[in-house]
């Protein structure tokens, strides 16, 4: 069984819904989740917050936080997931933010640095990844890791 089918099955069997807030994946997590017929029974919606002003104005991320830490950090990933959970009133939310290359990054967080957060009404888990490969490869790795993390969190809380 592939990851998307597994995610659908675990969500349907537990009557759970998902939302996303995506930056570096620009909607690919949402698109992947919705690639299976019947996704509307588990998927509520997404905010594609590629630019910082969308993170600030649509997701309610503090401008001061972004200015201090940049939009690629643990705190922003956490707030993206937590706030999209509230906006969509879903059971779980996934967020992604990172530098997929070939440009971007800094000394603290070079290209390939990605943060994925999974949030539910009780907790938020943020994972830091350093991924390698082309931009397309990094984005695809983020999608796979995000879906795997979500499945793990759901199973942990069953």
Which pTM value belongs to this model? 0.97
Domains identified in the chain and CATH numbers? 3-157 (3.90.950.20)
Non-local (6+) Cβ contacts of 99 within 8 A are 24, 72, 105, 109, 110, 111, 112, 113, 114
The DSSP symbol for 37 reads T
- Torsion sign over Cα 40, 42, 45, 50: negative
- At residue 71, the 3 state secondary structure works out as coil
Task: Tell me the pLDDT of the chain (158 aa) as tens digits.
Answer: 599 999 999 999 999 999 999 999 999 999 999 999 999 999 999 999 999 999 999 999 999 999 999 999 999 999 999 999 999 999 999 999 999 999 999 999 999 999 999 999 999 999 999 999 999 999 999 999 999 999 999 999 87
**CA nearest neighbour of 129 among 118, 137, 138:** 138
Non-local (6+) Cβ contacts of 155 within 8 A are 10
């Amino acid at each position: 069984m592939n990851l998307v089918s597994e995610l659908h099955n675990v969500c349907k069997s537990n009557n759970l819904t998902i939302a996303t807030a995506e930056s570096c994946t620009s909607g690919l997590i949402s698109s992947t989740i919705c690639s299976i017929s019947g996704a509307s029974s588990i998927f509520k919606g997404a905010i594609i917050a590629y630019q910082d002003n969308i993170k600030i104005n649509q997701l309610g991320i503090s401008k001061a936080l972004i200015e201090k830490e940049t939009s690629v950090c643990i705190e922003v990933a956490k707030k993206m997931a937590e706030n999209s959970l509230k906006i969509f009133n879903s059971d779980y939310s996934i967020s992604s933010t990172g530098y997929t290359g070939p440009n971007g990054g800094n000394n603290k967080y070079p290209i390939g640095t990605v943060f994925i957060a999974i949030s539910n009404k009780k907790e938020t888990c943020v994972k830091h990844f350093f991924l390698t490969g082309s931009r397309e490869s990094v984005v695809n790795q983020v999608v796979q890791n995000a879906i795997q993390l979500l499945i793990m969190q759901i199973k942990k809380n069953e």
